[in-house]
Structure 1
Amino acid sequence: MTPLRLRLPATSANLGPGFDALGLAMALYLTIEATVAEGFHIDASGRDAEQCGVIEDNLILTTYVDVLASEGILARRLHLKLHNEIPLGMGCGSSASALLAGVLLANHFGDLNWSRQQILDEACRREGHPDNVAACYLGGMTISSVFKDSVVTATCGEKLDWSLLLALPAGGLATSKARALLPANYPRADAVANIQATALLVAAFCQGRPDLLRTAMQDRLHQPYRMEACPLLPLLLPLAEDPAVLGVALSGAGPSILLIAEQKNADAVTDMIRRVTGNPILEILQTRISSGAMQE
């Protein structure tokens, strides 16, 4: 079998009001070079390399093996050379990139010949919601919906030159815990407000309208309920009122915070984050919008 090289971006889901519907690909990457070997082996480097290099319960490999097993195919053993830039457990789509990697590996080394739609459907089914996987695979800002067990997507904004800043607290937050904080029902006014904001947010990305983001990234469905578990959120949300900041939102389920700014203001916004949090060593990543997954 020919080797396979993958480059999969980090993602930020929801973007404020677009709960389980919107995702944004970010230029922080999980890069994998895979070759057939006599046994499973991972050489990991980069962020959280020790955790990424563990074979047992590795999400990439378990997905790869399970996809092929469901097709009645015994998985070839692989040697993975892996470099990771995506924060784990921080609301940056690390599980989506790993799941998509496993499906892409299965498609290649199992000769499945799946279409892009089949790959997307399988990875989204395993993730449980489409927002992160769609953005990771397709790039830019994606709008996703599940209809008759298939994912319907649209993309825009991949060429926007806005700066993306991720403020990362010291500890992670499990998505399951973050979801458990949400109520089962919402007032109609909150649901309507989020529908309006989501529509405006899609327009902002599709038309390249940074002036809309401050209003469009307002949320009433999940961020208010996650404040306590994501202490950076109440500190940084008020920065959306500063002219240098285009928008602020919880990144995915948290606890990281995504801020959007013009490229020329990225350093000033970084300094602003440190000043507001009172944490001069807070990790802040500056990145940009990614065009999506690469396979060769």
Structure 2
Amino acid sequence: MNGFTISVPASSANIGPGFDSLGLSLGLYLTLSVEKHSHWEIQHQSLLLPDFESYDKHFIYQIAKETAHHYGKQLPPCKVTIDSSIPLARGLGSSASAVIAGIELANQLCRLQLSLLDKLMLATEKEGHPDNVAASLVGGLVVTASTANDKINYYKWNSLNIDIITVIPDTELKTEASRSVLPEHFTRKYAASASSICNLFIVALTSHDYHLAGEMMENDLFHEPFRATLIPKYTEIKKAARSLGNYGTVISGAGPTMLVFAPKGKGQSIAGELQGQFSSYNICQVNIDTQGMKVTSGKEEVAEN
């Protein structure tokens, strides 16, 4: 086995009204450096990664092992060195990136030759919904839908002429807690209104009408009204971002991170302005990743997605 590296980007889901169906790939990364070894060994190189007791208790190893067993294979021993710039429990898809990494680790070690759809189906089964995993897998802005026969369809855009700013508080918010405040049912009229907002948002965003897209993303009815009280300084951040000329600000995934859509070329300066107003936050412009998960051997790319 030759050494290789797996790189998986972070993701933001929902983006306002695109609840459980819309994901955006962001330029923060989970990276696995893998090399042949006499026994299994996993090392962490980032304080953003969670503690673990032993390699066989590690989440990424468990995903890889389950994937290998699904195809009747066993993982060969190796040393995996893991680095990450994705904060945990902040609504930036840290769990989804780990799932994708584990599936690809098994794919490479066991020579499974999984297709893109194979990986997406496996990852969705683990995560429960495809929005984050699809964005991390293929990159860009991805709209997903699961049909009655459990097939997952998606469409990807790369051409968003905007800057993205992440507003990350120094507090965690577990997805389970964030989901617990959501209603189990909506009336038909309410659901129709929420869906119409999402429909117009997608059309505006992909047509580069960012002012209209911003208006629609800030009028979500599916999740933001119920999660707003869980997000530190939710109203203040949205008001401050709007005053600086941004298109719109939404909860990233389940939160507590907020995602700001800014005019192209102004993201860095606006992030600096917001940082001055919210000094306890980590606020910065991040790139939109358009490649998604990739695997490299040395300097040569050996697989993509």
Work out whether the TM-score is over 0.5: yes
Q: Which residue is 2:108 aligned to?
A: 108
260-269 vs 166-175, greater mean Cα deviation = 260-269
Where does residue 37 of structure 1 map in the other structure? 37
Q: Deviations over 1:107-161 (max 9, x none)?
A: 11112122111111101111100000001111111000112222111011x2334
- Counterpart amino acid of residue 249 in structure 2: V
- Quick one: distance in 1 between partners of 2:233 and 2:119? 35
Aligned-partner Cα distance in 2 for 1:210–1:200: 11
In structure 2, stretches of 5+ residues that fail to align are 297-305
Q: 1:47 to 1:290 in 2, by over 3 A?
A: farther
1:145-156 equivalences under 5 Å are 145-147=145-147, 148-156=149-157
Q: Is the 8 A contact 2:10 2:26 kept in 1?
A: yes
Show CA shifts across 1:207-252 (max 9, x none).
Answer: 2332222222121111111122212322223346436211110000
**Structure 1 length normalisation: TM-score?**
0.91
Alignment of 1:280 with 2:279, yes or no, is yes
Q: Partners of 1:151 and 1:19 in 2: how far apart?
A: 16
Structure 1 unaligned runs (5+)?
none
Q: For residue 185 of structure 1, give the secondary structure of its aligned residue in structure 2.
A: coil
How many Å apart are 1:165 and its aligned residue?
Answer: 1.0
Distance 1:213 1:239, change over 3 A: farther
Q: Which residue of structure 1 lines up, in the alignment, with residue 235 of structure 2? A: 234
Once the two structures are superposed, the pairs formed by residues 1-296 of structure 1 within 5 Å of their partners are: 1-49=1-49, 51=51, 55=55, 57-147=57-147, 148-156=149-157, 158-217=158-217, 218-239=219-240, 241-242=242-243, 244-274=245-275, 279-291=278-290, 292-296=292-296
Taking a change above 3 Å as real, the CA distance of residues 137 and 126 of structure 1, as seen in their structure-2 partners, is same
So what's the TM-score if we normalise by structure 2?
Answer: 0.89
Worse-superposed segment, 128-137 or 59-68: 59-68
Query: CA, structure 1 residues 189+225, in 2 after alignment: closer, same or farther (shift >3 Å)?
Result: same
CA RMSD in angstroms, aligned pairs only: 2.1
Cα deviation code 1:256-294 (max 9, x no counterpart): 11111024322443244345xx53232113202111222
Deviation at 1:189, TM superposition (A): 4.0
Contact 2:272–2:283, Cα closer than 8 Å, also in 1: no
Letter in 2 for 1:168: I
Greater shift after overlay, 167-176 or 258-267? 258-267
| In structure 1, distance between residues paired with 2:270 and 2:280 | 15
Count of matched residue pairs? 293
Alignment-mate amino acid for residue 2 of structure 1: N
- Contact 1:11 1:93 (C-alpha < 8 Å) held by counterparts: yes
Give secondary structure in 2 for the equivalent of 1:51: coil
Give 2:159's aligned amino acid.
K
